[in-house]
A = this chain, B = another copy of it.
């Protein structure tokens, strides 16, 4: 006889899948892609290794899903800040960098996974796309700044790439753990913001 899944059943399945993705994300944030074996992820989610394949056709597919979700969250947040309608392009740029950096500092493991941790090729490809989206967002604001006469003429794409690279590099080292006294996060943020503005060529604020 036709066997039809009940609504509750479907919900339960989706919840299981959801839980799997969340646990996988956590594992990846904690130990990196390389150490996040199917077994480790399944254990974290409290299911058997084989059950992973009920939800995803392969480990790579799960990894990509994990990356996409986390990356999209970040891109969305950044987009919201950069495209907000209040403040000059330069002010938005500053806020964007701060948000980018603050979020990374608040979830270092995840930031490291998104930005730098060694990963299998499929995730690597996803990461390239992630970076492109970041570039596009920053490039947009830089362009607005140029058009508004607030920033000097420059290749927005290059500046945008530099901004993500700069912030990433500054963050990743502290992220990777080992660093002398560990600089105060707020100082780091202020320093980064100033750096980003110089990078884009914004004039130092004139006194009020």
Contact = CB atoms under 8 A, between A and B. Distances in A.
Interface residues of A, number: 39
Contacts of A191: 154-155, 158
Contacts of A131: 169, 173
Contacts of A38: none
Given A118-B118, A198-B200, A198-B201, A161 B154 contact: no
Contacts of A163: 166
Number of copies: 2
B170 A162 contact: yes
Interface string A89-115: 000000000000000000000000000
A16 interface: no
Interface string A142-173: 00000000001011001101111111111001
Interface string A187-200: 11001101100111
Q: Is the interface of A mostly helix, strand, loop or mixed?
A: helix
Contact of A168 (B169, B188, B204): B169
Contact of A199 (B34, B121, B155, B199): B199
A166 B155 CA distance: 14
Contacts of A124: 118
Nearest to A119: B118
Interface of A: 34, 118-121, 124, 128, 131-132, 135, 152, 154-155, 158-159, 161-170, 173, 176, 178, 187-188, 191-192, 194-195, 198-201, 204
